[in-house]
Amino acid sequence: MAYYLSPRFLDKLAVHITKNYLKLPQVKIPLLLGVHGRKGEGKTFQCELVYERMGIEVVHISGGELESPDAGDPARLIRLRYREAAELVRVRGKMAVLMINDIDAGAGRFDALTQYTVNTQLVNNTLMNIADNPTNVQLPGSYDENEIQRVPVIMTGNDLSTLYAPLIRDGRMDKFYWQPDRSDRIGIVGGIFEPDGLSPQDITLLVDTFPTQAIDFFGAVRAQIYNEQIRDFIYSVGLENVSRSVVNTTTPPSFRKPDFSISHLIEVGHRLVGEQRRVDDMRLANEYNRVLQGPMPQGASSAPSADSFYRNSNPSDSPSTVESTIGGNAVRASGNGNGDSPQCPMPDASQSTYSPTHPPTHSTSLPPEVYDQINAILSQGYRLGVEHVDKRRFQTNAWQSGPPLPSETVASASAAIEQCLDDYANDYVRLIGIDPKTKQRVMENIIQRPQR
């Protein structure tokens, strides 16, 4: 399989590695190179392609090895692996690098809840010491007066700002932000689907259909294509016989080439996108573990949502006053016990691309206040979602996620919500607004209650 290697990526790593093996007069060369960027964009894989292309020996360290119950072990491990890479250069006569994957996951601090251990401190200190003295790296308890070969250190991570600031200063670390452009994405995805016979036009269409997805998304799409055949295989041999058919067998199962048509790939891609949105919209960790919520988004109000009153009361009770929040604005509305919802605040007309809030002109059974809430949510750039729960589970707040809702226009969103109310006519239904940037909810409001 011919994988695509980005020229930008190749240039950056090749220059950094080669420069560290040269003796340039009176030039301070950073030993460390931090390759950072969004998750799933192929940072580590592109590094491996560069190493293979240049014939470089690689010594690996995982971010998970940078912590240990024994203080000092990770720092000693870094020194051992660095000296191992230097020994490879001496013995094999080839360039070598020390590769540390996911450095921010092992040595970074993401928030106040991230524990800063002795090992974290020693790891940062050890890397700074190696960057300052790359030919004099000693092991604890011993001293070797002979200099060792200077070996460049390549690190990958999502957010280098979580690392100790003196470690990533320019004199010690060179930084490379990897964000593949459209041509890079087309080349990489073309390499992924190279054995499947997709035309360049199909590859371009697939990339342009999902422009915001990371590179690993397309690998997941390709893997999903085989699910139908594997499912057929499981039920053809029987669930109780799957283990003996795939483990330690002399005749492993074989599968025909699946349907790799562009329409099928796009269909599978949209299905994966829908699952991503469900994960983002649910945010159950925030609901069940309040300690993880942290500060509210900028401008968001801490006032309770419209359904927060009902969580702590009997469903047969009706509130006299409830509050709803959206985009940081708290609105009070009087409840009359018939399930009416408080209205969302009017959006700023100068920031809204939608029409002012008013009842829809087309035929709809949605109450005007619900239509106004939909308009207010979309006008502020938020996404819509719905959740439902039956009468019994309402007491335990066990809400279930509804189908994804369109957020392009008020009309399409209103129609989809109206359909949800029909589908869950016997359930409580609540409307939620979601900030796509922070992935946090900015509003929750019950818009339907079952008949008592």
Architecture of domain 182-279: Orthogonal Bundle (1.10)
pLDDT tens digits for range 283-327: 665 665 554 445 544 444 433 343 433 333 343 433 333 334 444
Domain boundaries, the chain: 7-177, 182-279, 297-448
pLDDT tens digits for range 382-393: 888 888 888 888
Fold match between domain 182-279 and domain 297-448:
no
The answer to whether 136 touches 147, Cβ cutoff 8 Å, is yes
CATH 3.40.1390.20, applies to 7-177: no
pTM greater than 0.85: no
pLDDT tens digits for range 350-372: 343 434 444 444 445 788 888 88
Say how many C-beta atoms besides its own lie within 10 A of residue 404's C-beta: 19
pLDDT tens digits for range 322-337: 334 444 443 333 333 3
pLDDT at 208 over 90: yes
- Residue 84: pLDDT band (50, 70, 90) is very high
Q: What is the pLDDT of residue 232?
A: 87
Q: Tell me the sheet residues that pair with 444.
A: 432
CA torsion 406→411→417→422, rounded to 10°?
-130
**What average pLDDT score do residues 144-168 get?**
91
Fold (topology level) of 297-448: Ribulose 1,5 Bisphosphate Carboxylase/Oxygenase (3.30.190)
Rg, Å, the chain Cα set: 28
- Written as six digits, the tokens of 292 are 């993880």
The answer to whether 119 touches 67, Cβ cutoff 8 Å, is yes
**What average pLDDT score do residues 86-93 get?**
94
Cα dist from 364 to 359, 383, 414, 415, whole Å: 9, 21, 8, 8
